[in-house]
Amino acid sequence: MISSKMTKLAQNNSVIRAMFEEGNRLAAEYGRENVFDFSLGNPNFAPPEAVKNALIDVLNSTEPTEIHGYMSNAGFPAVRAAVAKSLNRRHGTAFTENNIIMSVGAAGGLNVALKTLLNPGDEVIALAPYFVEYGNYVNNYDGTLVVVPANPPAFQPNADALAAAVTPKTKAVIINTPNNPTGVIYSETSLKAVAAVLEAKQKEYGTSIYIISDEPYRELAYDGVPVPYVTQFYRNTIVGYSWSKSLSLPGERIGYLAVPGEIDDYSLIFEAASIATRVLGFVNAPSLIQLAVARCLDEDTNLAGYDENRKLLYDGLTKLGFECVKPDGAFYMWVKAPDGDDKAFAIAAKKYNILFVPGTSFAGAGYVRIAYCVAKATIENSMAGFAKLAKEYGLGK
């Protein structure tokens, strides 16, 4: 008998990954250009040229033993100091290298944070709809994921529902803004309301409740909509970041955790998280790409490209009669299933070689997620299929 946890996972493998595999199968059958795969948040834009140049520069200018050797579990001190300085400039924080732990992407950072914080039975709150892997990550450390229901139509956090979900066992609240899957950016007002609830609950229960702010889409904000920095509103905040999306580097596995000095048990948490990085088997974040991203901290994300896709998709779908949440950030569109059945909607779309993910996978039934980090032509060429889908549902009459 293998692990019962893993047996369950193997039997219910991720719907998103399953769609991705389905996309590959359809592409082999019909040709890649005839399949419109909006299932995975895998950026279609190449990383900026600066990343390649930085990699070459690192290889040419740094001792190989330094590039490829072991280092502090938290990462190269100089890289952490550079990240801290960049954050201080952008957000008015006062970080040093002793606040930054380099991570194996956002996923690695979240696992390190949860490994550090959780005892078995501790509760972690996620606000629906949420990135589906949170449940798995919490389960890794025998925590319990508690889901606060979605708050349509704006999908901002619902402070009252959050207050009702917090218990003396609540150790952390994961928030994700700009949000996957909705594309919504949490407003300052929403974040202040969340902070007020958690401050009051900490006092009531005499506990520490940490916000883990999962921010891989921080730079992906359109029309100048601000993405407030959560540490400004809530002291016990740990920030998780990744360059997977902003620099199109998801395969490189690089990000960081920012652990502010003001949080409860800072020293213990920083030390324990560094050790968690090691004992989880990462040992440290990959060295070469650490050194490269430290040279690319001011590189711009291809916001204009994603914005073009966003407008194209939003205009196209709304014209056809679909109801979409207009995304202010990230690269996902959250679209209402016309008859409320998101699974049936995703199956119906497959007839036209269009793949997207039912919202049920994100605790967001009744909606689907369309990832528009694809080639512009994919969106343009998918519209004929979307038009048939709209007709099938009797829309746009």
Positions that interact with ligand PLP (CB under 6 A):
41, 105-107, 131, 176, 180, 214, 216, 242, 244, 250, 255
Q: Provide, rounded to whole angstroms, the least separation between the CB of residue 112 and ligand PLP.
A: 12
- Report in angstroms how near the CB of residue 178 gets to ligand PLP at its nearest: 9
Q: Tell me whether residue 106 or residue 317 sits nearer to ligand PLP (CB atom).
A: 106
DSSP per-residue letters across 37-63: E-------SPPPHHHHHHHHHHHHHS-
Both tokens assigned to 216: 């891989």
Indicate the SS3 state at residue 342: helix
CB nearer to ligand PLP: pick between 14 and 98 = 14
CB of 260 to ligand PLP, least distance (A): 20
Rounded Cα distance between 250 and 42, Å, is 7
Question: Helix, strand, or coil here: 368?
Answer: strand
Comparison of 134 and 322: residue with beta carbon closer to ligand PLP: 134
**What minimum distance in Å lies between the beta carbon of 389 and ligand PLP?**
25
CB 342 within 8 A of CB 355: no
CB of 31 or CB of 251, closer to ligand PLP: 251
Secondary structure of residue 390 in the 3-state scheme? helix
User: Which residues have C-beta within 8 Å of that of residue 169, sequence separation ≥ 6?
Assistant: 121, 122, 123, 144
Q: Which among 53, 114, 373, 356 is positioned nearest to 244, based on CA atoms? A: 373
Smallest separation (angstroms) from ligand PLP to the CB of 70: 22
Q: Which is nearer to ligand PLP, 269 or 371 (CB)?
A: 371
Evaluated on CA atoms 208, 183, 91, 253, the torsion sign reads positive
Cα separations in angstroms, 89 against 82, 93, 188: 11, 8, 20
β-bridge mates for residue 354, sequence order? 36
CB closest to ligand PLP, residue no: 105
Q: Specify the residue, 48 or 321, whose C-beta has the smaller distance to ligand PLP.
A: 48
Of the pair 95, 243, the CB lying nearest ligand PLP is at 243
Edge to edge, what strands does the sheet with 255-258 contain?
Answer: 100-103, 255-258, 237-242, 210-214, 170-176, 123-127, 144-148
Which amino acid type is present at position 53?
N
CB of 250 to ligand PLP, least distance (A): 5
Shortest spacing between CB 89 and ligand PLP, in angstroms = 23
CA distance 136 to 8: 11
What is the residue-wise DSSP string for 241-256?
EESTTTTT-TTT--EE
Give the residue with the Cβ less far from ligand PLP, 202 or 242: 242
Kind plus residue range of the DSSP H or E element containing 239: strand 237-242
The answer to whether 325 and 318 are in contact (CB under 8 A) is no
Q: How far apart are CA 208 and CA 349, in angstroms?
A: 46
Give the nearest distance from C-beta 215 to ligand PLP in angstroms.
Answer: 8
Choose between 122 and 133: whose C-beta lies nearer to ligand PLP. Answer: 133
In the complex, the smallest distance separating the C-beta of residue 396 from ligand PLP, rounded to whole angstroms, is: 31
Q: How near is the Cβ of 332 to ligand PLP at its closest, in Å?
A: 8
User: Which residue's entry shows tokens 């999962």?
Assistant: 214
Residue whose CB is less far from ligand PLP, 242 or 353 = 242
